[in-house]
Amino acid sequence: MRIGLLPARKAPLVPGSGIVLLTMAFVFGACGGESPVLESGQVDTMGAKIALEACPHEYGFFDGFDSTPCDIYVVDPETGTVSHLTTGSNPVWSPDGQRMLFTHRTDARRDQGVYIVNADGSNVSKVATGLSPAWTPDGANISYTSGPCGEQCIYLAQPDGSGASTIASGVFSSYPYSWSPRGSHVTYIAINSTPASVGLYVVAVTPGSAASKPLSAPDTAPGVASWFPDGKRVVFLGRVHKSHDIYAAGIEDAHQTRLTTIGDIEGPVKVSPDGLRIAFLRSEAEEWGLHTVSAKGSDLNFLTKGMTGHVWTYAWSPDGKRLVVLTREQDNYGLWLVNADGSSLARLAELRATPDKPIATVRALSWGWSQSPMYPN
Q: Domain extents for the chain?
A: 27-367
pLDDT value at position 239? 83
pLDDT value at position 136? 95
Is the pLDDT confidence value at 85 over 90? yes
Between CA 118 and CA 342 the distance in angstroms is 34
User: Per-residue confidence at 69, pLDDT binned at 50, 70, 90?
Assistant: confident
Is the pLDDT confidence value at 7 over 70? no
User: Per-residue confidence at 13, pLDDT binned at 50, 70, 90?
Assistant: very low
Between CA 258 and CA 296 the distance in angstroms is 10
Q: How many CB atoms lie within 10 A of CB 126?
A: 12
Higher pLDDT, 8 or 71: 71
Burial annotation 305-318 (CB, 10 A radius, 16+ → b, else e): bebebebbbbbbbb
Task: Say if pTM beats, i.e. exceeds, 0.85.
Answer: no
Between CA 328 and CA 361 the distance in angstroms is 9
Phi, psi of 299 (to 5 degrees): 60, 60
What are the tens digits of pLDDT across the range 37-50?
233 333 334 568 99
Is the pLDDT confidence value at 33 over 80? no
pLDDT value at position 121? 94
Is the pLDDT confidence value at 53 over 60? yes
What are the tens digits of pLDDT across the range 147-167?
866 578 999 999 999 999 999
Is the pLDDT confidence value at 265 over 80? yes
**pLDDT average, residue stretch 128-150:** 89
pLDDT value at position 212? 85
The answer to which of 88-92, 152-156, 372-376 has the lowest mean pLDDT is 372-376
pLDDT value at position 149? 60
Burial annotation 355-364 (CB, 10 A radius, 16+ → b, else e): eebebbbbbb
User: Per-residue confidence at 30, pLDDT binned at 50, 70, 90?
Assistant: very low
Query: Which of 66-70, 188-192, 196-200, 344-348 is the most confident on average?
Result: 344-348
The answer to which of 6-15, 99-108, 117-126 has the lowest mean pLDDT is 6-15
User: Per-residue confidence at 172, pLDDT binned at 50, 70, 90?
Assistant: confident
| Contact between 297 and 246 (Cβ < 8 Å) | yes
Mean pLDDT of the chain: 78
pLDDT value at position 59? 53
Q: What's the CATH class of domain 27-367?
A: mainly beta
User: Per-residue confidence at 105, pLDDT binned at 50, 70, 90?
Assistant: confident
Is the pLDDT confidence value at 196 over 70? no
**pLDDT average, residue stretch 128-142:** 94
**3-state SS string over the chain?**
CCCECCCCECCCECCCCCCECCECCCEECCCCCEECCCCCCCCCCCCCCEEEEEECCCCHHHCCCCCCCCEEEEECCCCCCEEEEEECEEEEECCCCCEEEEEECCCCCCCCEEEEEECCCCCCEEEEECEEEEECCCCCCEEEEECCCCCEEEEEECCCCCCCEEEEEEECCCCCCEECCCCCEEEEEEEECCCCEEEEEEEECCCCCCCCEECCCCCCCCCCCEECCCCCEEEEEEEECCEEEEEEEECCCCCEEECCCCCCEEEEEEECCCCCEEEEEECCHHHCEEEEEECCCCCCEECCCCCCCEEEEEEECCCCCEEEEEEEECCEEEEEEEECCCCCEEEEEEEECECCECCCEEEEEEECCCCCCECCC
What are the tens digits of pLDDT across the range 213-228?
888 887 777 888 999 9
pLDDT value at position 375? 47
Q: Is the peptide bond before 12 cis (omega within 30 degrees of 0)?
A: no
